[in-house]
C-alpha cells in the first residue's frame, strides 16, 4: 500500500464521519394555535415564512407546521409529530399552559428537543429553551403610560387574555406598576380571551356597570377593536384613553396617523418572535448545539415618534 493510498484512507476515515454529521437531518415540528384572531394570523404568517426561508437555506432541514383549534387538538397533533413525522426538535406555542404540559413532556421523553414560545408551561423542566416577548414590560409599560396620561388620578378597567402563565405575568406587572399611582382605581379586570367578540361583550358589561371610566387597558389590539365598538355603540364620551397591546398594524397605523385621539400609544409584542424561535432552534440543532434557557424579546412603548419601525403592512397582524 502506497503512502498516498494510506493518506487517502486516513483522510476518508476522518472526513466521512464529519460529513455524515454535517448532513444529519433536523426534523423540526412547529405547533401553533389556529388563526382565530389576527395575532395568531401573524404567528402563522411568520411561521410559514420561516419554513420557506430556512428550508431553502438548509437542505438538511425539514419543518412541519401544524395548527390547532384547541388544546386537545394540539395535544393529539403532538403525538402525530412525534410518531408520524418523527421530529427530533419541536417549537411549540401552547394553546394553554396547563393542558399542554403533560403532552409536551411525553414528546420530550422521546428525545425531542423542546423550545416553548410565549405561553410558558406549568412545569419549566419540560422545556429545553423558552422564547417570548417581555410580558412583565408588556404590563408595566401599559400601566405607567396610563397613569402618566391620567395625571395619576382616574378610574380604569382592564381586559385580560386567556388564563395562561404569560397573562398572569402581564397582569401582575400591570398591578405592581399601577400601585405606584394610588389615585388610580382599577374597577375590574376580566378575561376577553384576546378575541374581538369576547372583548366587545366584556366592555358592554363594564359600560353598563360603571357610569364613568377614564381609561381602558385592553391587553391585545384585537380586543381593542371590540372595546372601541362597544364604546361607540354606547355613545360614551367619558373614556379618554384606550391602550391595547402587541403592536398590530392597524393600531400602529392609527398612532402614526393620529386618527383616534384615544389611541396614542401601544406596547410591542410582535408575532415575529415565532420566526426567531424557529430560526434559533433550527440553526442550533443543525450545529448540534442548544439555545440559552431563556430568550426574551424586549417589549417597548410605541408612540408616534417610533411607530414606523413597528409597522409591518404585509403581515396579517
Contacts of 314 (CB under 8 A, 6+ apart): none
Domain spanning 135-267: which superfamily? Response regulator (3.40.50.2300)
Reduce the DSSP state of residue 91 to 3 states and report it. strand
Taking the model in full, what pTM does it have?
0.74
pLDDT digits (tens, 9 = 90+) for 184-220: 999 999 999 999 999 999 999 999 999 999 999 999 9
* HSE-up (13 A, CA, CB side) for residue 10: 7
Residues of the chain with CATH 3.40.50.2300: 11-133+271-298, 135-267
Count of residues for the chain? 317
Q: Just give the CATH number of 11-133+271-298.
A: 3.40.50.2300
pLDDT digits (tens, 9 = 90+) for 262-273: 999 999 998 989
| Mean of per-residue pLDDT scores for the chain | 91
The CA distance from 178 to 172, in Å, is 10
Amino acid at each position: 500500500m502506497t503512502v498516498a493510498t494510506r493518506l487517502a484512507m486516513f483522510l476518508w476515515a476522518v472526513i466521512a464521519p464529519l460529513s455524515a454529521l454535517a448532513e444529519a437531518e433536523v426534523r423540526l415540528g412547529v405547533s401553533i394555535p389556529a388563526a382565530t384572531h389576527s395575532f395568531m394570523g401573524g404567528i402563522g404568517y411568520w411561521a410559514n415564512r420561516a419554513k420557506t426561508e430556512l428550508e431553502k437555506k438548509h437542505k438538511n432541514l425539514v419543518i412541519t407546521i401544524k395548527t390547532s383549534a384547541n388544546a386537545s387538538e394540539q395535544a393529539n397533533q403532538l403525538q402525530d409529530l412525534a410518531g408520524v413525522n418523527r421530529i427530533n426538535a419541536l417549537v411549540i406555542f401552547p394553546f394553554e399552559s396547563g393542558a399542554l404540559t403533560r403532552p409536551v413532556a411525553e414528546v420530550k421523553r422521546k428525545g425531542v428537543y423542546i423550545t416553548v414560545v410565549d405561553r410558558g408551561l406549568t412545569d419549566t423542566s419540560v422545556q429545553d429553551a423558552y422564547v417570548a416577548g417581555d410580558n412583565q414590560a408588556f404590563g408595566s409599560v401599559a400601566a405607567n403610560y396610563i397613569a402618566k396620561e391620567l395625571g395619576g388620578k382616574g378610574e380604569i378597567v382592564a381586559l385580560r387574555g386567556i388564563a395562561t402563565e404569560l397573562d398572569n405575568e402581564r397582569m401582575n406587572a400591570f398591578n405592581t406598576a399601577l400601585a405606584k399611582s394610588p389615585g388610580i382605581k382599577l374597577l375590574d379586570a376580566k378575561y376577553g380571551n384576546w378575541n374581538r367578540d369576547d372583548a366587545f361583550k366584556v366592555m358592554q358589561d363594564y359600560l353598563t356597570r360603571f357610569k364613568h371610566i377614564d381609561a381602558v387597558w385592553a391587553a391585545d389590539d384585537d380586543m381593542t377593536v371590540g372595546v372601541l365598538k362597544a364604546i361607540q355603540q354606547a355613545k360614551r364620551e367619558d373614556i379618554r384613553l384606550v391602550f391595547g397591546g402587541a403592536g398590530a398594524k392597524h393600531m400602529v397605523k392609527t398612532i402614526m396617523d393620529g386618527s383616534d385621539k384615544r389611541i396614542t400609544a401601544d406596547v410591542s409584542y410582535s408575532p415575529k418572535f415565532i420566526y426567531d424561535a424557529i430560526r434559533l432552534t433550527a440553526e442550533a440543532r443543525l450545529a448540534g448545539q442548544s439555545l440559552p434557557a431563556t430568550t426574551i424579546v424586549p417589549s417597548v412603548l410605541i408612540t408616534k415618534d417610533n411607530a414606523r419601525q413597528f409597522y409591518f403592512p404585509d403581515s396579517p397582524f
